[in-house]
Amino acid sequence: MFENFKLKSVNKKITEIEAQIVSNQKEIIRMEKKLSEIPENIESLKKILKITDERTQEYINDNGHDDFSNKIIDASLNRSAKIYYLEEDLKRIPEIIKSLKAELFDLEKEYKKEKLKEKVYSLTEGKQISV
């Protein structure tokens, strides 16, 4: 009876670890995808920003400052901020991925240990074993 409880407990732990492993793997894939897309997004935003800045300057030269030019300038500032945050992500995400992979390694070690326990408990279920 006690062995059966141990086996159920180990099986529950294995299921939890499997879920954590899958979740961790998905997060690594998501982060790697995001990391691969960032340079393209930065370049795209820089091109848009350059064109917008040129056209804004032309508009201001022709019409002076007004609400419309201020809105365009605000949009440019937002794009500049977005570029900054993407560049920061570019620096930060590799460390996150490294941490996730280390966590995944630990989870896989724990999983193997629990699978071994499961095997021992299932082989010894209901038997008295002396060591």
67 touches 122 (CB < 8 A): no
* 8-state DSSP, 63: H
pLDDT tens, the chain, 131 aa long: 556 778 888 999 999 999 999 999 999 999 999 999 999 999 999 999 999 999 999 999 998 889 988 888 899 999 999 999 999 999 999 999 999 999 999 999 999 999 998 888 888 775 655 54
For residue 50, give the amino acid letter: K
2 touches 127 (CB < 8 A): no
Residue 98, sorted as left (phi over 0), alpha (psi -120 to 50) or beta, turns out to be alpha
Q: Which residue, among 121, 131, 130, has the nearest Cα to 1 in the 3D structure?
A: 121
104 touches 23 (CB < 8 A): no
- At residue 126, the pLDDT reads 53
In the chain, what are the domain boundaries? 2-122
DSSP E strands in 42-130: the ranges are none
